[in-house]
Amino acid sequence: MPVKHTHIGGQAVLEGVMMRGRHNWAVAIRKSDGDIYVEEHALRTAVSRHPKLAKPVIRGVVGLYESLVLAMKAFAVSAEHAGETEEEQLSSKEIALSMTLGVGLAVLLFIVVPALLTNLMVGQATERPFTWNVVDGVLRVVAFFAYIWAISRIKDIQRVFAYHGAEHKTIHAYERGLPLDAEIIQRHQTMHVRCGTSFLLMVMVIAILVFSLIPVKAVTALLGTDHRAITLIVAISFRILLLPLIAGLAYEVIKWAGKAPDNPFVKVVLWPGLQLQRMTTREPDDDMVEVAVVAMQRVIACEEREEALARGKTVPEVGTCDAGLPADEVAADDVEPVILS
């Protein structure tokens, strides 16, 4: 069926799925007793408040930051409600610590370690800059694949990846105007062109190009030193400082691809990322799809209300579309499929 472009996206969390639209976001969690806990909040991005931030590349940097903040909030909700006992539930301090350690580990594994290994294999970044950057980029991609492979062996992560698949399948069905029914949703694939996995791989590919333009030799000359350690520190520092720019560029590529998923050139560009999603997604069961539908329904309801208001219609408030307050719990049996046209 023809695909209707949508801005609605989401992510998998512990025993659940978060969906995000233009005006609100909702996270649904399967509790240990089988019920579904759903919580939604109003959403107003920095780009909507400050139009100047909507310029290409800049919007990607702002969007990435807001997505990370939102991801932390969604993860906090899931950590609070997914555990069977209070001992299994994470506190806000534990969540903040885990996120901080995660960022530190990412910098270490995907920036520092590849740079150190490249120095050992090729020499200083100032000696053969092009070769140095290519080897560094390849090692970074290899480290990323190895990391994904390693965590995919963990049982709990496999469940998160299955919810990731449920999120993608649900969005596929919505984009095609199909009923959000588990049987229909399950017919779709778990891969999606706008997936964050593809985004991360695109970041690494673009990083190779951008880092090749860094004049490390000129910078070390200004510093008046060609010491091996100083040169390495300069190279690593630029890699960290330029991450926002690279993320902004990658965002534009993914945004463009999301509007033309059937374009032959787009398929070629995104093929590696889609293949990587075979590792970061799993086939979900119907219960997982049902959770994704609950989160999606809350976002769709708000989207439809805002569209009706834009057409001048008078419509009642829906959920937290205006209030921005947590919704009540709903049982799994209370969920009704939404028919989209």
User: Is a pLDDT exceeding 90 seen at residue 219?
Assistant: no
Q: Report, as an integer, the average pLDDT of 57-73.
A: 84
User: Is a pLDDT exceeding 50 seen at residue 311?
Assistant: yes
For residue 28, give both structure tokens: 């649904």
**Res 299: pLDDT:** 92
pLDDT band for 44, please (50, 70, 90 cuts): confident
- DSSP for residue 5: P
Q: Report, as an integer, the average pLDDT of 135-163.
A: 91
Which of 43-47, 84-88, 174-178, 199-203 holds the top average pLDDT?
174-178
5-14, 94-103, 241-250 — which is least confidently predicted? 94-103
**Res 194: pLDDT:** 81
Q: What is the mean pLDDT of the chain?
A: 81
Q: Are 72 and 99 in contact (CB under 8 A)?
A: yes
Tell me if residue 224 falls in helix, strand or coil. Answer: coil
For residue 34, give both structure tokens: 């089988």
User: Is a pLDDT exceeding 80 seen at residue 47?
Assistant: no
The one-letter amino acid code at 127 reads E
Regarding predicted confidence, which is higher, 129 or 143? 143
Q: Are 95 and 72 in contact (CB under 8 A)?
A: yes
81-95, 116-130, 155-169 — which is least confidently predicted? 81-95
pLDDT band for 256, please (50, 70, 90 cuts): confident
* pTM score of the predicted model: 0.80
Query: What span, in angstroms and rounded, lies between the C-alpha atoms of 239 and 44?
Result: 31
**Res 329: pLDDT:** 38
Tell me if residue 178 falls in helix, strand or coil. Answer: coil
> Cβ of 93: how many Cβ atoms within 10 Å?
8
Query: What span, in angstroms and rounded, lies between the C-alpha atoms of 35 and 39?
Result: 13
User: Is a pLDDT exceeding 70 seen at residue 133?
Assistant: yes
Q: Are 11 and 18 in contact (CB under 8 A)?
A: yes
User: Is a pLDDT exceeding 90 seen at residue 159?
Assistant: yes
The one-letter amino acid code at 240 reads I
**Res 126: pLDDT:** 82
**Res 89: pLDDT:** 55
> Cβ of 304: how many Cβ atoms within 10 Å?
15
pLDDT band for 43, please (50, 70, 90 cuts): confident
Q: Report, as an integer, the average pLDDT of 59-83.
A: 83
**Res 319: pLDDT:** 58
Regarding predicted confidence, which is higher, 329 or 49? 49
Closest CA to 253 of 232, 269, 268: 269
Query: What span, in angstroms and rounded, lies between the C-alpha atoms of 179 and 188?
Result: 13
41-50, 227-236, 305-314 — which is least confidently predicted? 305-314
155-169, 170-184, 267-281 — which is least confidently predicted? 267-281
pLDDT band for 11, please (50, 70, 90 cuts): very high
pLDDT band for 320, please (50, 70, 90 cuts): low
Closest CA to 72 of 49, 53, 97: 97
